[in-house]
Amino acid sequence: MPFTLNAYLPSLNRELQIKELSYKQYRELVKSLYNTDKKETIQQYNSILKDLCPDIVNFDITFEDKLSLLLIVRNYCVSPDLKLKGTANSGNTFNFSIPVEKIISSIKTIHKSKTLQFEDIVVKISSYKARDEYIFIGNNKDIFNIITSYIDAIEINGNFVNFKDLSFEDRMSIVTSLPHYITSQIYESIKEIEDYYNKQVLLEVKNPIDREIALTISKNINIDGLQKVIEFIFTEDLSNIYRAFYNMVKYAGFSPAYIDSITPVEMQVYWMYYIEDHEKSKSSNTSSGGLNLSTSTSNTQLGFQ
Amino acid sequence: MTKVKEIIAALNILSDKNSFEVYLPLLKRNVKFRPLTTKQQKYFYECLKDNVVFNTKFIIATFNIIKENCVELDLVDKITVIDRLFILLAYRKNTLGNTFQIEKDGVIYNANLDDCLKQAEEITLPQNKLVAVKNVQVELHVPVVVDQYGLEKELRETLEIETFEVNQLVGTVVVNEICKAIKEIWLIENDTATPVGFNGLKYADRIDIIENLPAEVMFDLQEFVGDINVIANKVLTVVTESGEVGFDITADFFLDE
């Protein structure tokens, strides 16, 4: 049985199990961010999440849920710290670090779900659905798209429909058939919820020297916020990724299939053992002629020293 | 897909239940209209970029709304442009409430839609009129929304924005208004009146015919159209502390301030 981690879905207030992120999957997540086709990137991320957490197919997970799952695997399988490089107004760069656990704790406090009652119609809303992310690329302001994505279910005079089972087009056809005064009020509720979370901080990057705020991402996670945080937690120099893999296979002698199956953090542990052993054998071996191995991969994310 | 159809059917039943009444001067009675759906509200957003002289997209959108929402479907062909004004005012009241604001000369006035709507019972629509000059007889009627829609759809729906000379534009507007007001034209020869079947012609052809009518008949036609416009302007006028102020019904009349 594969090792699993506890993950939390804020929209449903429930826990579920998620598998560890393998090095192969981590490599795919990093590579996807280099893809200029944002839709492909979203599909790749959603596909890997389904592999890691098959239970999510039973739910219509939201942006907050998706971020929560990705942060968990990032925290336990890659690195517990998020290290960013910022540029101050003066042009100087600075380093910023925050424990991923802190962001996870912040996400857990986001509860946008609400039930709206109109005379003969009951509407349940939660947040933007992860599977609708591509709809909002380049346009996150279309009121009708926002309402359609937010709705979980509608009940009309005993007729209940769960939006989880419907395509975006089918959901939109139901929304556009609703009386205008109802969609108007749904949108007002959504605005109220978003304004509330807009005032709360999810991630704030400060210059440690002058405490100047370089970036703020609020708890109102829209497509820009979601994609920005994903970029932060999975951006890595691809050459580091390939170099680390190469070193493990060529020098440490592991099989490629095995390296692909373990987590990035486990790979780091093995590499540390290898370096320790290599250092020991170097100090006991006085003659030269041994392999002149690089001990650094400059991989900041993986913490390779 | 079945689930979607069931929900939409349930919404349509609800829509019928929530329909509201509008007094139409044509029939001198109330007619029920279903409330605006979200899809129909979207039409107004699509009209924000429109032909400023003819309001083509807005006329097409409002005709579709009237046609989709009128509970008595067989009435749609008869609804006049004056009835249309009361229908649109009632929709505005139903979606955004009774009060609205008008701006004139930099001053904002608050007005009530009820003040406009109550005029419906006081208005008497002009009777059909026959105008005969030389060998031509023209029957005039209060324009119907079907023709208002048809004219815009045929002549301007796909038009790109053009630049007109002012006098050319005025001429086009006048001929368009006359086209909508004509119900039928007869050619009289040897005391026999032959109808040209005006209503069955394409709008471009109707305009060609109008442009070839004797000049003498045009004055009567313009006078009749002028009478209709006086009624329409009266409907869209409110009394404020500064006197009477007129307003227009365009797409942003239906969008939340």
Residue range A17-49, pLDDT digits in tens: 999 999 999 999 999 999 888 899 999 999 999
Each of the 257 residues of chain B gets a pLDDT tens digit; together they read 568 888 888 898 889 989 999 999 999 999 999 999 999 998 998 888 888 788 899 999 999 999 999 999 999 999 999 999 999 999 999 988 899 998 888 888 889 999 999 999 999 999 999 998 888 999 999 999 999 999 999 988 876 666 667 777 888 888 999 999 999 999 988 888 899 999 999 999 999 999 999 888 888 898 999 999 999 999 999 988 778 889 999 888 998 65
Taking CB atoms and an 8 Å cutoff, what residues of chain A touch B39? 176-177
Taking CB atoms and an 8 Å cutoff, what residues of chain B touch A170? 1, 4
Contact criterion met (CB < 8 Å) for A176 and B37: yes
pLDDT of res. A302: 45
Residues with Cβ within 8 Å of residue B226, at least 6 apart in sequence: none
Residue to substitute from B3, B6, B7, interface A, most A β-carbons within 10 A: B7
3-class secondary structure, A122: strand
pLDDT of res. A284: 75
pLDDT tens track for A106-119: 999 999 999 999 98
What is the average pLDDT score of chain A?
89
Q: How close B97 gets to chain A, by Cα (Å)?
A: 11
User: Which of B6, B12, B41 comes nearest A180 by C-beta?
Assistant: B41
Per cent of chain A over pLDDT 90 is: 72
Q: Is A292 a residue whose pLDDT tops 80?
A: no
With residue A31 as reference, give the H or E element that holds it: helix A23-32
The ipTM value here is: 0.75
CB B90 within 8 A of CB B254: no
Q: How close A119 gets to chain B, by Cα (Å)?
A: 10
> What are the residue ranges of helices labelled H in chain B?
2-17, 38-46, 56-69, 81-96, 113-117, 145-155, 166-181, 203-211, 215-235
pLDDT of res. B159: 67
Choose among B148, B115, B154, B111: nearest CA to B225: B148
A121: contact with B, CB 8 A cutoff: yes
pLDDT tens track for A169-225: 999 999 999 999 899 999 999 999 999 999 999 999 988 888 888 889 999 999 999
Q: From residue A162, how far is each of A58, A191, A238, B100 by CA, in Å?
A: 12, 23, 41, 38
Contact criterion met (CB < 8 Å) for B38 and A178: yes
pLDDT tens track for A241-275: 999 999 999 999 999 999 999 999 999 999 999 99
Q: Read off the pTM.
A: 0.82
A142: contact with B, CB 8 A cutoff: no
β-bridge partners, A129: A62
Taking CB atoms and an 8 Å cutoff, what residues of chain A touch B12? 177
pLDDT of res. B1: 55
